[in-house]
Structure 1
């Protein structure tokens, strides 16, 4: 069974970069009161989950065939920004999609970035992260 992390204090601005409050953006997805309507919104909400340390949400939104049994986030990593570069499919009318992005982070005094083209599919009607496209 997946270990659920305690829900961290909510930030005022949503980390996903859409320019709105956390409570009005990714917060409801993390709380489970609504589901992400597109693959891009799911990817943004998963980035926000990394930023706020919500491992429970990350595991719940990971495809059952690729989901790890447990997830431990490195507390030293501070996610500092997200750039969505491209999307394919992933709308309310699709069953799969990709989101290419660059996520920026800081560890101590060093900065870095993670570039990925993530694949998303619907599982039981909801968008979930499948894997990084090769």
Structure 2
């Protein structure tokens, strides 16, 4: 009888493809947002960078980009969960010319060998010139 081994995916490096799914490397895409050297210019880019933060385990970035009215005190990541892909399904507003926007997405993951996805329509607002995540809109 053999035991099924679950291999942990390689860590994201600066030269890795960005977890958010854009064509750039992590260094060119979401890393500057995570480091705080640039703000996400649109609600969609913030959503993508937050997905990447989940993929790389950057709780600090997630909390910094969460609206104070809905931000939790802390985050615990499920060690066995691996984020495997992101689909942007639609957006409203959220550009440099808007004060609010929504991003509908499906985030794919594996957990204990099973695949799954999270579907959400997220609400974002711009505060002090920076986009922040507010909450998920209720399902219609």
Common topology (TM > 0.5): yes
Aligned length: 127
Retained in 2: the 8 A contact 1:10–1:52? no
Retained in 2: the 8 A contact 1:49–1:57? yes
Larger radius of gyration: 2
> Residue in 2 aligned with 1:10?
13
- Larger relative contact order, structure 1 or 2 (CA cutoff 8 Å, min sep 6): 1
The whole-number CA distance in structure 2 between the counterparts of 1:10 and 1:52 is 9
The whole-number CA distance in structure 2 between the counterparts of 1:91 and 1:76 is 35
> Residue in 1 aligned with 2:42?
38
Query: Which residue of 54, 57, 68 maps to 1:50?
Result: 54
The whole-number CA distance in structure 1 between the counterparts of 2:104 and 2:121 is 4
The whole-number CA distance in structure 2 between the counterparts of 1:24 and 1:35 is 13
TM-score, normalising length from structure 1?
A: 0.92
Query: Which residue of 105, 108, 117 maps to 2:109?
Result: 105
SS, match of residue 57 in structure 1: helix
TM-score, normalising length from structure 2?
A: 0.88
SS, match of residue 63 in structure 2: helix
The whole-number CA distance in structure 1 between the counterparts of 2:65 and 2:59 is 10
The whole-number CA distance in structure 1 between the counterparts of 2:12 and 2:110 is 20
Q: How does 1:52-131 map to 2 (within 5 A)?
A: 52-131=56-135
List gaps (5 residues or longer) in structure 1.
1-7
Q: CA RMSD in A?
A: 1.1
Q: CA deviation at 1:19?
A: 1.6
Q: Which runs of 4+ in 1 moved over 6 A?
A: none
List gaps (5 residues or longer) in structure 2.
1-10
